[in-house]
Amino acid sequence: MSECESECQQSCSCTAYAYVNGTDGSTGKCLAWFGELQDLVETKIIAANDIRIRVHGSELGKKGVSVNSLKRTLVIAIVSAAVGLLTITSGYFLWKKKLGRITRTVSENLGGKNDTELPLFSLRSILAATNNFSEDNKLGEGGFGPVYKGILPGNQEVAVKRLSKKSGQGHHEFMNELKLIAKLQHTNLAHLMGCCTEGDELILIYEYMPNRSLDKFLFDPFEKTKLDWATRFRIIQGIAQGVLYIHKYSRLKIIHRDLKASNVLLDGMMNPKVSDFGMARIFDINQIEANTNKVVGTYGYMSPEYAVYGHFSGKLDVFSFGVLLLEIVSGKKNALFYSCENSQTLAQWIWQLWKEGRGVEVIDASVRETCRIHEALRCIHVGLLCVQEAPADRPTMSLVIHMLEAEEATSLPPSKEPAFSTSRNSSSVTTYSKNGVTITLPEPR
């Protein structure tokens, strides 16, 4: 063994050595390993009394490592690697199994016997349309994931909504949006053109909206000048028609639950299209209300009974529409009113001016001089009625549309103080949504 040690020490690349006794009286021999320890053949190790590995004395405090110690180290490494590989493999097959169920569900719901027959796009066609999801084609990103502009054969422009693996949403929201919006056809609802469930991708393909979403115009000091009063009033009426359709006239009775400016898309003519039905809930034809333990949506647009108790009905969408209507008229973002402690809500600020007879001051300064004042004031009145604290005090969407079209403001019922008044013992401000929307927690009267 000492001779083998001397030979190994003469080479800097020698990492291990052993002495193997001879058999049948033959002379023994040295075994040496150079570089990384590989090919530790079992028969060679057994034949040797010891295998010595060269290490720095400060690392182990001894000159050698016994074969048992080496074997134990190798066993631990092999077992760890096997467990890791098994975990990855199991996870992969569980994902594929779940994705397979989704794909089958898509086929069952959207193909064959279903009269909707939503097209299924191949991943290759989506990659070609978006230039491999190029950042140059990215339109924006929401809770579901990024949205890209794509160009299909025939130069048809589309919006490609790709589920992000980091998204808080997932398969349930994907299927929910597929099943719902594929069955909805209305001029004021975003049109779903198809989907892709190939590989590990979950993708929705929508008609392309060249003017993006309403919030990109409404809350930008430069872009809002493109929203004259006639355009704003048409947008208000279009949103109301879209919500009325899903509440009353579509094949499915639907509560949207996340109606806000960023979920209203604008086509080339600035016509509104309500989108993002991932949070929506289907009601039975005769069902009026429901409860949930999982409150979803954006705080500030939620009605009090939903935000606090998880109780919702069509009046939840009416409340959200009221907040959105007041944003459109005032040009002010609801979320900004929650950025400072003890600040008023948007509805509360408007209410204070309204009851003092200063409703004109609510109207966005960019359109105040050119708008039809009586029309704008009527919209403010309707918005305040929509954000009443008690659901029974809010109008239905049918009545909302009727009131918006009314010529005489005196025909509207008087409004009460809106919900979420910060004057009622609420001091803390809590952030709930990813886009920084906050709300003062309400207390029931």
Q: So which residues are the catalytic ones?
A: 258
Question: DSSP states of 219-275 as a string?
Answer: T-TTGGGG--HHHHHHHHHHHHHHHHIIIIISSSEEE-S---GGGEEE-TT--EEE-
Tell me, what amino acid is at 231? Answer: T
Question: Which stretch of DSSP H or E encloses residue 192?
Answer: strand 192-196
Instruction: Tell me the C-alpha to C-alpha distance, in Å, between residue 174 and each of 178, 276, 279.
Output: 6, 10, 10
Q: What are phi and psi of 411, to 5 degrees?
A: -80, -5
Contacts of 131 (CB under 8 A, 6+ apart): 137
d(CA 171, CA 303): 27
d(CA 30, CA 34): 13
Q: Across the strands, what pairs with 31? A: 18
Question: DSSP states of 157-187 as a string?
Answer: EEEEEE--TT-S--HHHHHHHHHHHTT---T
Buried b / exposed e over 158-178, threshold 16 CB at 10 Å, is bbbbbbeeebebeeebbbbbb
d(CA 250, CA 192): 15
DSSP 8-state code for residue 78: H
Pairing mode, strands 156-162 and 203-207: antiparallel
Q: What angle do CA 276, 277, 281 make, to 5 degrees?
A: 155
Contact (CB, 8 A) for 314 and 248? no
CA dihedral 301, 304, 305, 307 (to 10 degrees): 60
Closest C-alpha among 411, 229, 400 to residue 329: 229
Q: Across the strands, what pairs with 147? A: 140, 161
Contacts of 104 (CB under 8 A, 6+ apart): none
